[in-house]
Chains A and B, each alone.
Chain A
Amino acid sequence: MRDPDVQLMLRVREGQDAAFGELVSRYQNRLVSIFVHLVGDRQAAEDLTQEAFLRIYRARNGYEPTAKFSTWVFRIAQNLASNSRRSKGRRKEVQLKTSESGPMGARPHEQLLKEKSALMPTRQLDRGELQEHVQSALELLNERQKLALLLHKFEEMSYEDIAETMEMTPSAVKSLLSRARESLRTKLEQYMK
């Protein structure tokens, strides 16, 4: 397999730790970005990223290059994010969203901002405001829709690779992405040019 990351992982299997350092450098920002959007917490995202690397390292001896390295990495990330969400649900922790909103929902000034935005849809939003609206809309998607969308947008993965990562068929990925984008359009229509 020509995938350079696979070549690095094969070197890790042979005991070259420096190759693993290279893989960590290549994937750390990509994983953290995906995790932050999935779990909504920067610190938790960094912890999950470290856990993902630990799992990859521990699996080095049995590693067989049967697929792209990235699809394997993001499958591990998906499992970790799901486990984290489940255990968070069990603990019934109140998590802050990536926006500034508190556990009781939008703060008064944020609510006011939303109301103002809704009243003036044609008003030019600054990038920060727009980012907040897009993040809020993204948070309303279910976990699978969100992951598929992020893998497509951030990782520029093909439907086939997303399917491989999420253990689905490419046609299921097509439906998932279609529903996700339709849902976003409904929520963000007023902010489109």
Chain B
Amino acid sequence: MNPTMSKLIRITPEIRADFVAYLDGELDEQAVERIEGVLAHSNVARNDVEGLAQIYELLDVLPRYEVSSEFTEQTMASIRVSELKPDLREAEWYRVLKDGLPLLAGLVALVSIIAVCFVAANRWVVTDTEILVRDLPVIEQLDVYSEVGSVDFLLRLANDGQLIDEMKSEVEDAGGRR
């Protein structure tokens, strides 16, 4: 790169991000060479890096705090006190319960499904006894229906109210004459 080209170097956000990593010694060899190439030919880049280095040095003025000499003992004492009130999460039964919780949840779900199926089966699936009770009136009259011999005729008869009335009155008349 010649000096005229140096004016054309554009410091991209990626290069700028690498400046900090360069100062922190966190770049690989190839990236270090690239940054040093940029620094060698760009005053702007050198100023940037110098500014970032100074900022990092400025952070040295931030105070570091020290606790009192009793702090360690107080901390240990508070831990001992907390151990007297055992954390439920550390208890064996809690761990067993926690580990077994998915199994327990699965079991509950399975039992619930079985219960729902049982209730549904009882309510909606028709048993032989129920069929027998439902068809009892037909079974009771089975001999009469067999004598008629035609299901079509019986169905037409059931749907024709006028015919039934006529037959009834005829039967009554015959009874009256007798």
Contact = CB atoms under 8 A, between A and B. Distances in A.
A54 B59 contact: no
Contact of B58 (A25, A49, A191): A191
A127 B62 CA distance: 10
Given A159-B26, A192-B54, A192-B58, A53 B75 contact: yes
Contacts of A149: 59
A192 B55 contact: yes
A69 interface: no
Q: With a 10 A CB-CB cut-off, give which of B51, B63, B64, B65 has the most chain A CB atoms.
A: B65
A45 B17 contact: no
Interface residues of B, number: 33
A46 B16 CA distance: 37
A159 B24 contact: yes
Interface string B47-83: 0000110111011011111110001101110110010
Contacts of B65: 29, 32-33, 36, 42, 45
A57 B87 CA distance: 11
Interface residues of A, number: 47
B75 A28 contact: yes
Nearest to A53: B75
A177 B24 contact: yes
A28 to B, nearest CB: 5
A181 B56 contact: yes
A182 B16 contact: yes
B72 A178 contact: no
A85 interface: no
Contact of A192 (B16, B20, B24, B51): B51
Interface of A: 17, 20-21, 24-25, 28-29, 32-33, 36-37, 42, 45-46, 49-50, 53-54, 57-58, 61, 127, 130-131, 134-135, 138, 149, 152-154, 158-159, 170, 174-175, 177-178, 181-182, 184-185, 188-189, 191-193
Given A54-B79, A130-B58, 5 more contacts: A153-B56, A177-B20, A181-B52, A181-B55, A192-B51
